[in-house]
Structure 1
Amino acid sequence: MKKILPTLYLFFGTFFFSQNVSFETILNDKISIRAIELHDNKVWYSGTDSKFGFVDLKNPENKKQIRLSEKKLQFRTLAQDKNSFYAINIESPAQFFRIDKKTLTHQIIFKDTLKTAFYDALHFVNADLAYAFSDSDERNNLRLAVFNSKGRNSWFVIENGIKLNKGEAAFAASNSNIVSNSNYLWIATGGKSSRILRLSFKNEKFEIFNTPFTQGESSQGIYSIDFANEKFGIAVGGDYTKQEANLNNIATTNDGGETWQIQASGKNAGYTTCVKIKPNSNGKEIISVGDQHISYSSDFGKTWKKISDEKGFYVCKWIDKNTVVLAGKDKISLMKLKF
């Protein structure tokens, strides 16, 4: 009986959550999507085969898709300011595209021709400041491109003096290994080393913090981070070659990323590509998405429940307190939560 009870609790817990989650697919297409933005009641996306477009949240028949290039580029980044969207293809030469929100006309505004350029994430801190993070150069220097409208009013690669460890890189899994607030920018790395790089906007200096995350192989490490405020943050990931592995693949911080505590090791659904804290929950409620599952935490990431076995999602965003939009392999869907 002692062995049966835990199994029953797990079954009924999963059953309860599955009965309180529903899905509506609002876009089907032959595309892999790893970056989305919300604007004007629409989900905007970039993906494979140079595809960029939107689908209306309330009327999915209202949709449009364009190709940003005649070449079959892969886009895993997307960000926005007031008037435009921005996307970068992942391989060299890395081309920075700007797409007008009203007309969808687009142009290349910057190119990084470095042979090792591979941009993993693109993030706007505010209307005047944005960062894009690439894999390192051949000398293991951190490669960071910056847009500053109050400075050069253009994109440029900055000299930052940061050396990454050999084999330390990042994962272009969901455009979510960069996050910021008004005081800090956080960047998560993975591979041979999985660390947190924190940039202070006050003095423009980086600090680097080690993590207890699973690391050491090129497929391991942090894939996604999110912060509720200046102190509390969460990191998720694992090993994409061993998606069922669930040891040391979730961690939280309560001091702004300086120290990290492993959570739910051996007690979660495995490899995860994207994590998002529910707005206005102060970090208490969190959704995470992996290729093989969708999971939920209601206690600051300490424990997790797999709420769906839906597969093929890579990225997610909260729309409101009861709705999450998810995108991935060949689809964009809305998930309604009833708990």
Structure 2
Amino acid sequence: MKKTTLFLFLFLGIFTFSQQIESFTTILNDKISIRAIEIYDNKVWYSGTDSKFGFVDLKDPEHKNQIKLSDEKLQFRTLAQDKDFFYAANIESPARFFKIDKKNLTYQIVFTDMSKGAFYDAFHFVSNNLAFAFSDTDDARLKLAMYKNGEWSFFQNNIKLNEGEAAFAASNTNIASTKKYLWVATGGKSSRILRLNFKNNQIDVFNTPIIQGESSQGIYSIDFLDNKFGIAVGGDYTKQEANINNIATTNDGGEIWQIQASGHNAGYTTCVRIKPNSKGKEIIAVGDQHISYSSDSGKTWKKISDEKGFFVCQWIDGNTLVFAGKDKISVMKLKF
């Protein structure tokens, strides 16, 4: 019986990590740092450094276009979309919100944040009529710019951030949502989850066991399957090999978090994405030094690539992912 159990365990372990990289192809090379991408019309859309915004076609990488949203060398780390437009906000003050037409790439500035502390870490559409952008703040309060039914404003709240608590504009993924909730992840000396309930517009704040205490530590990215299951990843960008308490999952909508794979993962991670239609089992994670995969809801991880320089990722379908980062966009096909 023990031998049978051991055999089954080993067999399941092999089966769990049986995926292989079928191909890994770079489809865009450019002098740019990309930390935000969107998929639309079979194209990868991106924003980045030097005011650059553009796309590359997934089926025909020679079909691509790039424009500059400003004559200034703005740095974009956010990108979001609704039905007809893309939106991007630059980091640093003044923060300008650009609205870009999907059909002809004409653009205009639709909102400006003049505050000295403006630094937009993530931009996220909940629906065509509702979006939030998360910024650093001047006065230790939670700062969310909100787009609702065509109007821009700041979301009114009384949430105070702890001393040294901020956020990381690492991959445009420290915001996630369902129809019921919006989650925002903070990092630094305090790394917490802030959950907005759309029904009553109340925000609950939950502590996490993710590594924190230094300005370089905390949660960098979150993703949620539904109102219950979510995952948070991060670490310390000054110690990228460190892998203690840098991955956690929740099964109750973000109230309680459990550390996963502490000491047994590839280290500092900037983006995490749950595979669609996998019921939260299959997850990809990327950091500057690795690409990793989990098939058991984040409990265990396998490093599937040592490719460096990627900051953000997104599933295209059940076997294909796109990665972007320093000077490149690449597509990976997995074979299961």
TM-score (norm 1): 0.93
Q: Give the Å deviation of 1:131.
A: 0.3
Matching of residues 250-261 of structure 1 within 5 Å: 250-261=247-258
Cα separation, 2, equivalents of 1:83 and 1:184 = 24
2:201 paired residue number:
204
Q: Give the Å deviation of 1:157.
A: 1.4
User: Does residue 303 in structure 1 map to residue 300 in structure 2?
Assistant: yes
2:5 paired residue number:
none
Query: Which residue identity is paired with 1:142?
Result: L
Query: Which residue identity is paired with 1:266?
Result: G
1:105 paired residue number:
106
User: Does residue 88 in structure 1 map to residue 93 in structure 2?
Assistant: no
1:5 paired residue number:
none
Q: Give the Å deviation of 1:154.
A: 1.9
2:231 paired residue number:
234
The number of equivalent residue pairs is 323
2:4 paired residue number:
none
User: Does residue 216 in structure 1 map to residue 213 in structure 2?
Assistant: yes
TM-score (norm 2): 0.94
Cα separation, 1, equivalents of 2:55 and 2:33 = 14
Cα separation, 2, equivalents of 1:37 and 1:97 = 15
1:272 paired residue number:
269
Cα separation, 1, equivalents of 2:280 and 2:147 = 29
Q: Give the Å deviation of 1:304.
A: 0.2
Q: Give the Å deviation of 1:282.
A: 1.4
The list of structure 1 runs, each at least 4 consecutive aligned residues, that deviate by more than 6 angstroms after superposition, is none
CA 1:59–1:264: 2 relative to 1, 3 Å: same
- Deviation string for 1:264-293 (max 9, x for gaps)? 000000000000000011110000000000
Q: Is the 8 A contact 1:17 1:307 kept in 2?
A: no
List gaps (5 residues or longer) in structure 2. 1-9
Q: Give the Å deviation of 1:21.
A: 4.4
Cα separation, 1, equivalents of 2:281 and 2:58 = 26
2:74 paired residue number:
73
Query: Which residue identity is paired with 1:330?
Result: D
Query: In structure 1, the residue corresponding to 2:331 is in which secondary structure?
Result: strand
2:33 paired residue number:
32
Query: Which residue identity is paired with 1:198?
Result: R
Q: Is the 8 A contact 1:21 1:307 kept in 2?
A: no
Q: Give the Å deviation of 1:158.
A: 2.4
1:154 paired residue number:
151
1:4 paired residue number:
none
- Deviation string for 1:124-182 (max 9, x for gaps)? 00000000000122x20111100001xxx221112211100011000000000000000
Q: Give the Å deviation of 1:94.
A: 0.5
> Please, which of 286, 291, 294 is the counterpart of residue 289 of structure 1?
286
Cα separation, 2, equivalents of 1:91 and 1:186 = 23
> Please, which of 312, 316, 323 is the counterpart of residue 315 of structure 1?
312
Q: Is the 8 A contact 1:179 1:226 kept in 2?
A: yes
Supply the RMSD in Å over aligned alpha carbons: 1.4
- Deviation string for 1:282-331 (max 9, x for gaps)? 11000000000000000010000000001100000000000000000000
Query: Which residue identity is paired with 1:254?
Result: N
Query: In structure 1, the residue corresponding to 2:303 is in which secondary structure?
Result: strand
% identity of equivalent residues = 75
